[in-house]
Amino acid sequence: MPRPPLFTLTGNLLWEKTLSFGTWEPGRTHRASIETFQVGGKGINVSRMLNRLGYPNRALAFAGGATGAECGAWLAGQGVDFLSFPAQQATRIGVVVRGGGKADTTFLGPDVPPGAAGVCACSDFLDAQPGGCTLAVCGSLPGWEDPEFDPLRAALDRWFSRGSVAVDTYGPPLDWLASRPASLVKVNRAEFDGLFPPAERATGVAERLRRIRNARPVGAWVVTDGPNPVWWVDGQGECSSLVPPAVREISATGSGDVLLACALYGLLELRLPLRDAVAFALPHAAAKASEPA
C-alpha cells in the first residue's frame, strides 16, 4: 500500500544561531568560540526526524526577509523538502548561549504573524491537495485569532473532511483544533491542563483523558510530561501510560517533536496501534533529550 502524503505546517519559523563560550557572565562582552546555525520550529523538527526515518514528507512554513531566505537555503542543504509561503516580516531570530557551566539559555525575537498573503497562499495550497493526506500542525500560530486567519481555518475545516490532521500546538489554536475531528492530538502536560478549568486540573490525567475523549471529536490523545509517564487514549477508549527510558537529560528542546514524528511513523508506516506507536517513539524522544538542543 502506498504511503499517504504527509505535510508538516510550522506557523512560527525560527532562524537560530548557537554561540558557545568557555565562560560567560551577564553584563559583559564575550566572544564565542563556536558559532553554529540551524532552522527551528516544531514542524521543521518533525520533518527532519521523519527524514531520518525515511518517511517522505513536505515541510510547510511562513518565511520572510533575508532570515527567511537563509532558512530555506539551509533546509534545502539538509535535504528537507520545504515550501514557504510569504510572511509580512522577516522570519524571527533566536540565539542560544551555551557553555560556561550554565544551562543553555535561549533568546527569541518577537513572534511574527504571517499576514494575509501568506495565510491565503497556505490555504490555497492545502485546498489543492488530494484526499487521504496527513497534515501535522505544529507549534505556535501567531495571529491565529485575527480575522486574517479565517481562510486558513476554513481550509483546515475542509481538510478534516478528506484527510487526517495531527496536532501539536497550544493556546487558542489547540483549543480550536481539538474541537475538530483531528486524528491525533499530542500535547505536553501543561498544555493538556490548560484545556480544563482550574478546579479540574487536580484530577488524574487518565480520568481527564477519558473525559476529554468523550467530550471532543479527537480520535486519539497523547500527553507527555518530561521524564514522567506518557499517557495516551486511543480511538477505542483504551487509556494507559508508558514510562520513557531513563536518560541523563541535557536539553528537552525538540524531544516532543521527535516523539510526534516517530509516533506518526509508527501509525502510518508500521501500521501499529497507538500504544505500540508511542512505545516505538519513546526511546527516540529520550535520546533527543540526552543531546544538546
Q: CA 67 to CA 23: how far, in whole Å?
A: 28
Q: Is 269 exposed, middle or buried (0-12, 13-18, 19+ CB in 10 A)?
A: middle
Mean pLDDT (the chain) is 94
H/E element holding 116?
helix 116-128
Beta strands in the chain (DSSP E): 6-10, 14-21, 34-40, 58-63, 82-86, 93-99, 102-108, 134-138, 164-168, 184-188, 221-224, 230-233, 239-242
Q: CATH topology of 1-167 equal to that of 183-293?
A: yes
pTM of the complete model: 0.94
Domain 183-293 architecture: 3-Layer(aba) Sandwich (3.40)
Mention every residue, 6+ apart, whose C-beta is less than 8 A from residue 28.
Answer: none
- In this structure, which topology does domain 1-167 adopt according to CATH? UDP-N-acetylmuramoyl-L-alanine:D-glutamate ligase (3.40.1190)
As to burial, measured by CB atoms within 10 angstroms (0-12 exposed, 13-18 middle, 19+ buried), residue 47 is: buried
Residue 158: its H or E element: helix 150-160
Q: Burial level of 21, CB count in 10 A (0-12/13-18/19+)?
A: middle
Helix (H) or strand (E) holding 289: helix 274-289
Write the CB contacts of 38 (distance below 8 Å, at least 6 apart in sequence).
16, 18, 74
Q: Rounded to whole angstroms, what are the CA distances from 47 to 10, 97, 254, 257?
A: 10, 25, 12, 9
Categorize the per-residue pLDDT at 249 as very low, low, confident or very high, splitting at 50, 70 and 90. confident
Q: Is the pLDDT of residue 293 over 70?
A: no
Tell me which range, 187-201, 241-255, 277-291, is most confidently predicted by mean pLDDT. 187-201
Confidence of residue 243 (pLDDT cuts 50, 70, 90): very high
Q: Are 272 and 265 in contact (CB under 8 A)?
A: no
- Residue 215 Cα distances to 76, 92, 179, 185, 240, angstroms: 42, 37, 9, 14, 18
pLDDT value at 2 more than 70: no
The domain segmentation of the chain, as residue ranges, is 1-167, 183-293
Write the DSSP symbol of residue 225: B
Q: How does pLDDT run across 159-216, given as a tens digit for each residue?
A: 999 999 999 999 999 999 999 999 999 999 999 999 999 999 999 999 999 999 999 9
- Is the model's pLDDT at 24 over the cut of 80? yes
| Contact residues for 293 (Cβ-Cβ < 8 A; gap 6+) | 18, 96, 104, 106, 251, 253, 254
Element (H, E) at 72: helix 65-77
What is the arithmetic mean of pLDDT over 56-85?
A: 97
